Every structure is written in C-alpha cells, then in structure tokens.
Amino acid sequence: MAAGACPERPGGAPEYPGYPWNVLWLTGDSDADALLSSEPLALLIGMVLDQQIPMERAFRAPFDLKERLRGVLDPAAIAALPPDDLAAVFAHKPALHRFPRSMAGRVQEVCAAVVETYGGDASAIWTTAPDGKQLLANVKALPGFGDQKARIFVALLGKQFGVRPTGWEKAAGVYGEKGSHRSVADIDSPEALAKVRQFKQQVKAEARAKLPNPG
C-alpha cells in the first residue's frame, strides 16, 4: 500500500488514498462539504482559515473562493496572483475571513509552498509521507501551521480521510484519541459539532479561571 494510503474500502471498492469514504460534515452545506471531500487544496485552505472565525465559515470559504476565481482552485494561479488582487477577492462582501488581507496572504503562501514542494498537488503532503512523524513534519513546514494546527490536521486526515501511516495517532497527539471531541477532526455531524464547541468552551472557561483576579 502506498505511503499514507487508506485501507481497502469495504465491498471491494478500489483504494483512493487521501479522500474520505463519505462526504465530510464540516460546514453544514452539502456543496461546500463535497468540495472539501474531493479537492485536497480546498481542505488545506479551509484548515488555514480556521482561526478566529467560526469553523463552518472557515471551511465554507474554499467553496466561495473557488466561485470567485471562476470555478477553479489552482495553487499555481493563486500563488501568481498580485497580492492586492487576491486580498480584494477575500474582502469582497461577504468577506471570506475576519482578516481578509492577512489571510489571503497566508493562503497565497501555502499555495506557493504546494507548488514549490509538491508540484502543485496538495494531496502529496500526506500521500507521500512514509510515517506519522514525516506527515506531521510536512504539515508543520507549511506557512501558518503551528504545532497545534498541524496535529489537528493530521488527526483530521487520519480520522476522516483514512490517511493512517504508521505512527499517525502519536503524531496527532491528543487530537488523535478515539472518541474525543476536541477539534474539527472529530466533527462528522451536528451533534459532534455541538460536543466540540462544548469542549472548547470548557477549555476557555478553565483558562479564564486560572487568570489572576485583578481585585
């Protein structure tokens, strides 16, 4: 089996490494979720944008971006756009992110990395990784992917895309735990989304409780 490939599908269906067996449930919009499920670059862009805005909005943004780019998500074309032009695309109402200019720049940097390192194939970030350690390293090398975001993405790939090279769960850390509801990696239904939100609210509340009392 190729590095990073998912196991053979039930019923004798052919292997298709790097894609989920079922359509993802990340935005609540069937078209946006179908795009995330079928275009690796869309999933990567959604992960880039998943900060400081609701998760559903972040992962729907690739669908809206594709429409604004005349129906094509091409990493080389995005990387080659004048930065001001891409920023304008992001800022067009409704804006694709709370911080359209800075996040347009981040997406452009990631697209450039995909072109320069992976020949324009975003899925090669994970399908070429021989083990979880390298998979995590590949993701962390991308612009804007710190340790936590990278581990969440590894968990998302493992849990919902079947990308499970040896050691992927260790690489994902706590986000790879079975039955957890810590991150986007665990969301496959409205109920799971509610549980993830509850967990995040609990974490924030605990963090606030540890802050010094100004009184």
The pLDDT score that the predictor gives to residue 15 is: 42
CB 40 within 8 A of CB 164: no
How high is the pLDDT of residue 189?
86
* Alpha carbons 177 and 41: distance in angstroms, whole number: 25
Residue 70 belongs to what domain range?
A: 19-209
Name the percent of the chain lying above pLDDT 90.
72
pLDDT at position 21 is 53
> What pLDDT, in 10s, does the model give residues 42-83?
999 999 999 999 999 999 999 999 999 999 999 999 999 999
- In this predicted structure, what is the pLDDT of residue 12? 33
Q: 43 exposed, middle or buried (CB, 10 Å; 0-12, 13-18, 19+)?
A: buried
**Within a domain: 69:** yes
Mean pLDDT of 2-24: 45
Q: What is the CATH number of the domain that holds 98?
A: 1.10.340.30
Domain assignment present for 42: yes
- pLDDT value, residue 16: 39
Would you say residue 132 lies in a domain? yes
Mean pLDDT estimate for the chain: 88
pLDDT for residue 209: 78
pTM exceeds 0.75, yes or no: yes
In a domain, 1, yes or no: no
* Domain assignment of residue 9, yes or no: no
At residue 109, the pLDDT reads 98
Residue 198, exposed/middle/buried by CB under 10 A (0-12, 13-18, 19+)? Answer: exposed
**Count of beta carbons in the 10 Å neighbourhood of residue 134:** 17
Tell me how many domains the chain contains: 1
In a domain, 12, yes or no: no
Flag whether 178 is in a domain.
Answer: yes
* 55 neighbors 187 (Cβ within 8 angstroms): yes
Residue 13 in any domain: the answer is: no
